Amino acid sequence: MTVASKTRALVIAAPRSGSGKTMVTLALAAALRRRGLMVRCAKSGPDYIDPAFHQAASGHPGVNLDSWAMAPDLLAAILVAQGRDADVLLIEASMGLFDGVGETALRRGAAADIAARFDLPVVLVLDVSGQSQSAAAVAAGFAGFDPAVRVAGVVLNRVGSARHREGIVAAMARAGVAVFGSFPRDPALGLAERHLGLVQAREQDGLAGYCAGLGERAERDCDVDGLLAAAGVIDCDGAGSGAAVPPPGQRIALADDAAFGFMYPHVVAGWRAAGAEIVAFSPLADEAPPDGCDACWLPGGYPELHAPALAAAGRFQAGLRDFAARWPVHGECGGFMVLGVALEDADGVRHAMTGLLGHETSFARRRLHLGYREAVLCADGPLGAAGAVVRGHEFHYASVTVPGGDAPFAMMHDALGAARGPEGGRRGRVSGTFFHLIASVDRGSP
């Protein structure tokens, strides 16, 4: 294969969440793949679910790009590595195009940062249900909001009829905004959702057919040639990505199933690039961490939906306890819940977990915990040495109901630097927190 030195790229964004960005990204990826082009996808911001959908449509693993959590050199390296052997790179935004935190230019976690830093044009997905010509005012407002961000045009979503579309297209023409296509108001185009976003790709039957159908629709109802012509260019001659954080061991047992699916691809890729081997196992299949591993990582996921099975997984629980007596074990979010004494499900039923840490959690008393976090580690452990700073985020509805008596894992701060106090727990070789790791912090980074 000839390695491309330059790759075409687009940012697929929207004014807000729920506009149809993922659906349009999948449709365009599938359409380009039908043409024989090599497509890669990326997700701007802290989203561990959408990259698996990107892989289903493009045929290749996705990555995350996060301008708040990642230092600029790491951000650029991941972007270049993802685009290097692709004809087209599609970058899907999170939330709205300009939604981020703080005032540091190009470091707010917004998709607009990616567009501006790498001079990439934006295709705006507009949910036009409940409006007509006013959609053109929205598009014009976004196009003029930041001169560093170029809006190439729009794709209309949830169009009610041909007449509805004609009125919007005419208004867009008056506003000087290109329309690259449209998708109808059709419930069949949506994807199943639950409390943390889309139902995971691994749980969706018929996903390949769904993506193929979207690709056919995009070829029919969108100007795919026009979208390709509007794309920017990334120079992919730069160095590839290194590790976002050092690997916690040389042979890492990684829980990977429907209860533990929230692992950032760039973290695993960075571990592999640093020479570590990843060995997957399934707690839901009652598998213990494999022999020969020197670290165990329990990612986030949906343990609250599988609590009875995890409580009954005696081989997994006993094997994890035995492993923790010899090697480090770390749990993120759902993994942290499983490391505790008990987990209360949505019905208020208490299920015994591993008890490697002393806390208890509940999904019955739900409260949203959401936001970027910066963590200063309290002791040496799998994420780094004491005093090291790492960035990530929280997104969960479960809460700690019994804190236990373990030492804290980290001193936590929000995205604006406000202290949140000690969080998580550590005992012996075991550590855990609701915090999802994205990258280490270089204090010298701009």
Which residues are part of the catalytic machinery?
333
SS (H, E, C) the chain: CCCCCEEEEEEEECCCCCCCHHHHHHHHHHHHHHCCCCEEEEEECCCCCHHHHHHHHHCCCCEEECCCCCCHHHHHHHHHHHHCCCCEEEEECCCCCCCCCCCCCCCCCCHHHHHHHCCCCEEEEEECCCCCCHHHHHHHHHHHHCCCCCEEEEEEEEECCHHHHHHHHHHHHHHCCCEEEEEECCHHHCCCEECCEECCHHHCCCHHHHHHHHHHHHHHHECHHHHHHHCEEEECCCCCCCCCCCCCCCEEEEECECCECECCHHHHHHHHHCCCEEEEECHHHCCCCCCCCCEEEECECCHHHCHHHHHCCHHHHHHHHHHHCCCCEEEECHHHHHHCCEEECCCCCEEECCCCCCCEEECCCCCCEEEEEEEEECCCECCECCCCEEEEEEEECCEEEECCCCECCEEEEECCCCEEEEECEEECCEEEECCEEEEECCCCCC
